[in-house]
Structure 1
């Protein structure tokens, strides 16, 4: 079912293989172009290219982006729940929310997940555990985070949106149904359709109307002049028909080629004009 939400375009600026100044400049250029959200990721080493290449920490960059920008929302795609105490995560998120507010509501999105990159765990001294134990920890910690937001002084400027990444049908989607405002996955259209049905059932089990959850996915390369597959407008249009409205382009250093983003912004604007909606 097509959503009535406006389509939004996010960009994930991978904090790898580039000096910080290049990340900062790319963020400024992308905000000027009109992207809706700037994401990074929460890792300690590059995920592609030279394994020991340049890399920067997620949350400190997010705080800098909160101060630097004025309009875009910001967040990690996604934070690793294992790396920080739940109450500390809540306090950090609240603080960035206030940094980003600029006299109005904050612009921070709390994107989070259970974690998966073993090198991070091993080199920084965290217990890797199993997928099951990491998901159990995420389910345990999200209520703690939400409760801490109510106790902090000052509280967040708004109800901080929670984005949960992952597509596990038994556990992750149950957590999504309970806590998420945004659900991010890497699903093609048939997979997304099936998982949305499973998500709705989890919602029924926990008393939540999951149609209120924004559906997010990743797109690649340029949309113009392509069709079908994971990279083109054909696939993206199918996902829109199923209810997806947040599409994120991943960019990596050292150059952060933004030409593809311009094309996706044109695609967004054309869709929203036809639908009579507009991104905020």
Structure 2
């Protein structure tokens, strides 16, 4: 177990966060319990975060920043901490998400991580491995903070109709997830199109992929395998995938028709079930 007196702030972003938290707390003359009482967390949790044994959350960071008058230091650090906890092969992709001005993604079987709900994330990450599920879920959800930036990226997601019917978690999880997608109707920076079954053979049959576009850097294409990610700036690959994405957008339903289909599937497939007398079924 890491001892607080030998915590190395250079060991990792999480260790640096804990070091700074302890330094600012002690400068304020507060014990861990006293700080916990102020920010409505336990002193034990404060201690675990200070010793890099527990991940901080954005909410915790914001409260402590106010309590200790850090000038927003911990809130700035928490995004770096969260990205550092992603699988090593995915950390570069998370950096691309942060820097991109536009993210264009085609997903064949599930909602992209940038638009997943808490329950949906837990269901996805919990397949075969439920260890540290709370922290792993928080780390994935933290990627969505890119939409809180002063200049957030524009996101285009083309979602195969199959993903609407793939029951991740249970019916309630799916109903919540589809409702979340519908909450972006009218948001010009987050655009969702559905590629219907009726499209038949299409330009994305080889699988999901994501295009990252930047203000001054070359575009990058990202594809993913089991436990590995493959970003590339190869001009031929980028040109091919850009053309494929254009064709997928042309074959997909309009934004309005996509929302109508999502709403229909949400209500008809995942709506509240009732028995013959109209009463909700358990």
TM-score range, shorter chain: under 0.3
Bigger relative contact order, structure 1 or 2, given CA contacts below 8 A and separation 6+?
1
Normalising by structure 2, we get a TM-score of 0.28
The structure carrying a bigger helix percent of its residues is 2
Normalising by structure 1, we get a TM-score of 0.28
User: Which structure has the greater CA radius of gyration?
Assistant: 2
The structure carrying a bigger strand percent of its residues is 1
